[in-house]
Amino acid sequence: MRLVTDMGTALASKDRHLRVAVSSRVPPSANRRISRQSGPFLRQPMLMLAAVPPDRLLRLRSADPEGFTFEPAESWAQAVRVIRRLPVGLAVVDPLLEGEPRVHEIERLRSFFPSLPLVAYTTLSPEMASVLLGLGRIGIRRAVFARFDDDPALLRTVLRDEWALTAPHQVLAGMQPLLGQLPERVRWALEGAVQAPGETGVEDLARRAQMGRRTCERLFAKLRLPSPSRVLQVARLLYAHRLLLDPGFTVEDVARKLGYARARSLQLQLRAAFGRTAGEVRISLSPEDALGLLWRRLLGTHERLVG
C-alpha cells in the first residue's frame, strides 16, 4: 500500500476514490500528508436542495457527483416540503425559479429555516442587480452566476465552503474540544450520522467511518472519550435542538427527519436530556446553553466512569 505523501500526488493518482476523497475534503490552504488507512475512505455525499431551473440542476449535479447529491424542487412550495422532510444540509436557490424574480420566497425560506445556508445561483444582468441586493439584505452571502462563473471547480468550492455553515457541521464544531482528537474520517462520519434518519448506534457510525464496530469503540476508549453511541446521541440531540429553533419545523418534522417512529419518542428524549419539553427547549435554550447543558451531563457522567 503506497503512502501518499503530498496532495499533488494524491490528485494525480489513478485511484479515483482517493482523488475524490482528497479533492472533495481538503481545504484549499491545506498541504498535508495523506495516508491510506484500511481501504480508501469515501465520504458520504452531502444532500442539498436545488431550487433552480433544470439546466442549472444539471451543472450542479455534474460539479461533483460523488461529493454532492441534489434533491430538486420546481416550485417554492415543493422546496419547503423537501426541507421539512429530508435531511438537506444546504439549499441552492434561484430567485427566477418560477419565472419572475421572487426575493420574498427566498426571504421566507430564510425566516422559516435560518439554520439552512442558502446559496444563490442565478443569471447576472442589469435587471437582476436589485434582486441580488435584496438577497444580500436578507443574509445571502454567496452567489454564483450562470454562464459567468458557474464552472464545476467554483461550484465545488462554493458548496464546500457553505457546507461549513450547515447545522450538523456547526454542532460538531461546537463539540470540537471533546472530539478534536478524533481522525477526520470519524468526524465526517459523525457529521453524516447526526442528520441521517434512524442512525443512532455505534454500528451506524462505524459503517460510515468504514471501520469495524470494535475498532470504533476502542478508538474512543483510547482517546478517553465517552462511547461512540453516547457521543452520537448527544450530537443528534443538539442537532434536533438546532432544528427546533427554526420556526419552519414542527416537532413532528424534526422527529421525522431524524428517523423517529413517533414524535413522542423525540419529546421524551429531549425532556430527559434538557429537562424541558420540546416547546420549552425551542423558546428558552440557545445553542450555547444546550451544548453547555449536555456537556456537563455528558462529561460529568463520563468523568465519574473513567475516574
Q: Residue 57 or 132: which CB sits closer to another protein?
A: 132
Q: Hey, what long-range contacts does 1-8 have (CB within 8 A, 24 or more apart)?
A: 1/36, 2/36, 3/35, 3/36, 4/33, 4/34, 4/35, 4/36, 5/33, 5/34, 6/31, 6/33, 6/34, 7/31, 7/32, 7/34
- DSSP letter (8 states) at residue 49: E
Residues 23-42 contacting another protein, CB under 8 A = 23, 26, 28-30
- The total of other beta-carbon atoms located within 10 Å of residue 74's CB is 14
Q: Does 263 bind another protein (CB under 8 A)?
A: no
- The torsion angles phi and psi of 22, rounded to 5 degrees, stand at -70, -50
Q: How many whole angstroms separate alpha carbon 251 and alpha carbon 255? A: 6
Nearest distance in Å: CB 129, another protein: 4
Contact with another protein (CB under 8 A) among 127, 177, 222, 307: 127
Question: Which residue, among 255, 231, 259, has the nearest Cα to 244 in the 3D structure?
Answer: 255
Nearest distance in Å: CB 157, another protein: 6
Q: Residue 147 or 304: which CB sits closer to another protein?
A: 147
Question: What Cα–Cα distance (Å) separates residue 281 from each residue in 22, 266, 274?
Answer: 39, 12, 7
- The torsion angles phi and psi of 129, rounded to 5 degrees, stand at -60, -45
The residues near 154 (Cβ < 8 Å, ≥ 6 apart) are 144
In the chain the first and final C-alpha atoms are separated, in Å, by 40
Binding mask 59-98 for another protein (x = CB under 8 A): ----------------------------------------
Q: Does 306 bind another protein (CB under 8 A)?
A: no
Q: Residue 151 or 303: which CB sits closer to another protein?
A: 151
Residue span binding another protein (CB under 8 A) among the ranges 42-50, 126-134, 274-282, 286-294: 126-134
Cell of residue 141, nine digits = 452571502
Q: Does 142 bind another protein (CB under 8 A)?
A: yes
Nearest distance in Å: CB 120, another protein: 8
Contact with another protein (CB under 8 A) among 124, 165, 178, 263: 124
Q: Does 223 bind another protein (CB under 8 A)?
A: no
Counting every residue, how long is the chain? 307
Residues 144-203 contacting another protein, CB under 8 A = 147-149, 151-154, 156-157
Give the binding-site size for another protein (rule: CB under 8 A).
33
Residue span binding another protein (CB under 8 A) among the ranges 81-89, 137-145, 181-189, 289-297: 137-145
Contact with another protein (CB under 8 A) among 77, 129, 164, 221: 129
Contact with another protein (CB under 8 A) among 126, 177, 180, 307: 126
Residue span binding another protein (CB under 8 A) among the ranges 17-25, 34-42, 109-117, 282-290: 17-25
Helix H or strand E encompassing 230: helix 228-244
- The total of other beta-carbon atoms located within 10 Å of residue 266's CB is 24
The residues near 177 (Cβ < 8 Å, ≥ 6 apart) are none
Nearest distance in Å: CB 166, another protein: 19
Residues engaged in binding another protein (CB under 8 A): 7, 11, 19, 22-23, 26, 28-30, 124-127, 129-130, 132-133, 135-137, 140-143, 147-149, 151-154, 156-157
